[in-house]
């Protein structure tokens, strides 16, 4: 019988639901050394919170996150709040010796991110960041193929995360305010794109060659009113970059790519082969093996759902597709594994790791502002 892992969750919106589901489902589909126990749900709206806690099976709820630090029954604090509300609770919990799992991006500002990284260094608690796409079976398989050298020297990375929900009709929210979100599509989507590229290549970006940030929709209606408020975050950020090994990369994040609802895409070209993935067909990995004879070489559509052959795929039989939520369930399972003394199948991002992604995002912002190339080493 695995020992329980008592968890407190901060945040009861979209990510609160995704995380709650993950903690509930992880032990049903995975054999784990510790058993997640849904101890406390924490949110600001008490009425809403109670229904939320009941629905998702949280034992109790509170509107004051500060009390979690002193709660001896809480081992892991899971933070799913807007970006500007990551640093304070994360640092407090780390100082109290808790483990912390935090939504991405690590923070809305470089200062917050740096402080979080430093708090993690000082704490005996472990940290985790919900870069959930690493645990799509197809993505984890790509990681395995790259680690096995199947692509040889890497020449190209082409990463983009395209959404289209941010048109002029979309009302104001915390996501469109710099103060609460730090940035727009950049921190929301390029964070995933940069994490995915760094994760898959296993090396760091060294330079941003040039970036452009654009706010197409400058004002948005405030919900429940007739007034408009200024949106001061980017709708889209594009940039080119280089990795240490010399591979060149392009990154793009946008909320205005009409027709692309959730196209988190990456393609990697190496001297021996290529890989391509798109979240909109998340169960598939496309692999081109240039060592195949020319007669039969071709992009292989790998249905990465074989439990005996593909990582994070042992939920259902072959090609009985997995969905978005399984990426969180598998990450929750891996967090349990790590806290139970085991190793995850593929690396779990911690605050130090997420800090590296934050530096690249910051370099891109500076490049756009200064109209020049920016070396990552200059971002500290």
Cα dihedral across residues 161, 290, 347, 33: positive or negative: positive
CB of 121 to a copy of itself, least distance (A): 33
125: which 2 tokens? 């608690």
Residue 36, SS3?
A: strand
Alpha-carbon distance of 216 to 205, in angstroms, equals 28
- Shortest reach from residue 318's CB to a copy of itself, in Å: 4
- Between CA 193 and CA 188 the distance in angstroms is 9
Q: Does residue 11 come out as left (phi exceeding 0), alpha (psi in the -120 to 50 range) or beta?
A: left
Taking the least distance from each CB to a copy of itself, the nearer of 27 and 89 is 27
Cβ atoms of 50 and 75 within 8 Å: the answer is no
Q: Residue 356 in contact with residue 244, Cβ under 8 Å?
A: no
Smallest gap from residue 119 Cβ to a copy of itself (A): 31
- Report the nearest approach of a copy of itself to the CB of residue 306 (Å): 6
How far are the Cα atoms of 65, 74, 253, 321 from residue 9, in angstroms, in the given order? 9, 10, 28, 28
Nearer to a copy of itself, 300 or 342 (CB): 300
Shortest approach of a copy of itself to residue 123 CB, angstroms?
32
DSSP-derived secondary structure letter, 337: H
* CB-based contact 201:176 (threshold 8 Å): no
How far is Cα 74 from Cα 92, in angstroms, rounded to an integer? 13
Structural tokens at position 150? 């199947």
Cβ closer to a copy of itself: 208 or 233?
Answer: 208
Shortest distance, position 316 Cβ to a copy of itself, whole Å: 5
Nearer to a copy of itself, 114 or 209 (CB): 209
Considering beta carbons, is residue 69 or 221 the nearer one to a copy of itself? Answer: 221
Measured from the CB atom, the residue of 222 and 309 that comes closer to a copy of itself is: 309
């Amino acid at each position: 019988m695995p020992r329980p892992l008592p968890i407190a969750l901060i945040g009861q919106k979209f990510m609160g639901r995704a995380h709650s589901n993950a903690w509930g489902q992880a032990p049903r589909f995975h054999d784990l050394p510790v058993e997640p126990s849904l101890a406390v749900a924490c949110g600001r709206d008490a009425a809403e919170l109670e229904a939320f806690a009941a629905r998702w099976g949280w034992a109790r709820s509170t509107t004051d996150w500060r009390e979690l630090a002193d709660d001896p029954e809480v081992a892991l604090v899971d933070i799913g709040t807007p970006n500007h509300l990551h640093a304070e609770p994360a640092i407090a919990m780390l100082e109290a010796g808790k483990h912390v799992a935090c939504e991405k991006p690590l923070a809305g500002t470089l200062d917050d991110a740096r402080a979080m990284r430093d708090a993690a260094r000082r704490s005996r608690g472990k940290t985790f960041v919900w870069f959930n796409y690493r645990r799509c079976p197809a993505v984890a398989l790509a990681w395995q193929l790259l680690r096995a050298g199947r692509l040889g020297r890497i020449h190209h990375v082409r990463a983009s995360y395209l959404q289209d929900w941010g048109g002029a009709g979309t009302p104001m929210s915390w996501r469109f305010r710099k103060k609460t979100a730090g940035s727009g599509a950049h921190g929301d989507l390029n964070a995933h794109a940069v994490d995915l590229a760094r994760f898959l290549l296993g090396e760091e970006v060294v330079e941003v060659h040039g970036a452009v940030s654009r706010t197409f929709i400058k004002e948005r209606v405030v919900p429940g009113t007739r007034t408009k408020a200024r949106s001061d975050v980017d709708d889209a950020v594009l940039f080119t970059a280089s990795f240490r090994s010399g591979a060149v990369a392009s990154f793009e994040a946008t909320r205005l790519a009409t027709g692309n609802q959730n196209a988190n895409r990456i393609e990697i070209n190496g001297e021996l082969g290529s890989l391509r993935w798109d979240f909109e067909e998340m169960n598939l990995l496309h692999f081109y093996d240039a060592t195949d004879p020319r007669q039969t070489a071709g992009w292989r559509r790998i249905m990465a759902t074989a439990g005996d052959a593909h990582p994070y795929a042992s939920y259902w039989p072959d090609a009985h597709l997995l969905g978005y939520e399984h990426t969180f369930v598998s990450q929750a399972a891996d967090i349990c594994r790590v806290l139970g003394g085991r190793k995850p199948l593929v690396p779990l991002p911690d605050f130090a790791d997420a800090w590296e992604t934050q530096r690249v995002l910051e370099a891109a912002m500076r490049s756009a502002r200064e109209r020049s190339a920016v070396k990552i080493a200059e971002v500290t």
